[in-house]
Amino acid sequence: MKKKLSVIKIGGNVIDDSEKLHRFLLDFTALPGDKILIHGGGKIATELGVSLGVEAKMVEGRRITDIETLRVVTMVYAGLINKNMVAQLQAKGCNAIGLTGADGNIIKAVKRPVKDIDYGFVGDLDASSVSTKTLSSLLEVGLVPVLCAITHDGETQLLNTNADTIASAVAVAMSDFYETSLIYCFEKRGVMRDIDDDSSLVTEIKMEQFDTLKSEGVVSGGMIPKLHNAFEAIKSGVAAVYIGKADELPQINENNFGTRLIK
């Protein structure tokens, strides 16, 4: 029987709010069983970039990572945010270890090829990207990996990689050895029929309902790729995927958290 593992991705809006982040990390620490935390950077990278004269360049909601931007996001994601989270987790009794994809060769990416848009130093992942051996070794000695959105290509180049994608890839890879749940935490309760009405939560979505919800406009914008990746993860062996509000994470113990995606 496989041990249970929770792979949790925390969104930028929570990282930007120190009080919300403190509460989330308390709830994360209290979550039973083995776990891995994955984070991006939120507004902090953009704000630091502006102060250093490096303007954020976005195309269709995606950050263009030129060499100056890569330096900024590496400083913020792998340094400031990652180590702040690890220090907070240690204070809460969670023995965390903060890592980039380069550490222990945990996540090896390939630079995104230039097609219509040159995204710069952005990393894409494939089925062999995640070192399950290294992550399993850390979990076995009682450490909780905290992974930021910086990977590497194995040829000295660091790469900026979408944190949602990292979370999905880690959950899929680890599902060969663990009964893995993938949990996306952000500022909303989950998938909502009406984004402004908290009582309109869709508690469960099956794969065959996804296209219907897209055509109805219930799932739109940035939620479409998030759910697409989530269902791909389920197809690849992840037991369940949850999308919900960060400060409601404890409800997952009662199977009452956000929107659950299932086969």
pLDDT tens readout for residues 209-218: 888 888 888 8
For residue 44, is it within any domain? yes
CA angle at 232 for the pair 231 and 233, rounded to the nearest 5°: 85
Say how many domains are in the chain: 1
In a domain, 179, yes or no: yes
pLDDT digits (tens, 9 = 90+) for 150-207: 999 999 999 999 999 999 999 999 999 999 999 999 888 888 887 777 788 888 888 8
* CATH number of residue 63's parent domain: 3.40.1160.10
Can you give the pTM of this predicted structure?
0.94
Using DSSP, state whether 63 is helix, strand or coil: strand
Residue 226 domain-assigned?
yes
Mean pLDDT of the chain: 91
225 confidence band (pLDDT: 50, 70, 90):
confident
42 annotated ligand-binding residue: yes
Over residues 93-118, mean pLDDT: 96
Q: What percent of the chain has pLDDT over 90?
A: 65
Is pLDDT above 70 for 224?
Answer: yes
17: Cα separation from own chain's centroid: 17
Structure tokens at 114: 């230039």
Token pair 């969104």: residue: 11
**160 labeled part of a ligand binding site:** yes
pLDDT value, residue 179:
95
Q: What is the pLDDT of residue 142?
A: 97
pLDDT score at 199: 80
63 annotated to bind ligand: yes
- 3-state class percentages of the chain: helix first, strand second, coil last, to nearest 5: 40, 25, 35
What pLDDT sits at residue 61?
67
Structural domain harbouring 82: 3-96+163-262
Cβ atoms of residues 187 and 14 within 8 Å = yes
95 annotated among ligand-binding-site residues: no
144 falls within a domain: no
pLDDT at res. 230: 87
Is residue 257 situated within a structural domain? yes
Residue 22 pLDDT grade (very low, low, confident, very high; cuts 50, 70, 90): very high
Evaluate whether residue 101 is within a structural domain.
no
Would residue 119 count as lying in a domain?
A: no
> Does residue 36 lie in a domain region?
yes
